[in-house]
Amino acid sequence: MRVRKGAHTFEGTLIGPSEKKFPRGPNRTAYGCLMEGEDFQLEFAWWDWKVMPISSPQPIAAE
């Protein structure tokens, strides 16, 4: 999958829910997602990122 927020773009495999909770609305928190790439793990709030399924890795243009 590919996730993007502003100038930050990551590609990896969705592993499952994160162990971390993120703010979601007034006085609320919720678990995010955990994505793993070649040399990183990213815990993110899926509602704050643009999440796109991809069938195979694609080149990412630097911004």
Sorted by where each begins, the domain ranges of the chain are 2-52
* pLDDT value of residue 59: 62
The amino acid that residue 23 corresponds to is P
% the chain with pLDDT above 70: 87
pLDDT at 49: 96
The average pLDDT across 39-49 equals 95
Q: What is the pTM assigned to this prediction?
A: 0.78
Q: What share of the chain is helix, strand, coil (3-state, %, to 5)?
A: 5, 55, 40
CA–CA gap between residue 19 and residue 17 (Å, rounded): 7
Given a cut of 70, whether residue 63 has pLDDT beyond it is no
User: How many C-beta atoms surround the C-beta of residue 56 within 10 A?
Assistant: 4
Q: Does pLDDT of 27 surpass 90? A: yes
Q: What does the pLDDT read at residue 57?
A: 60
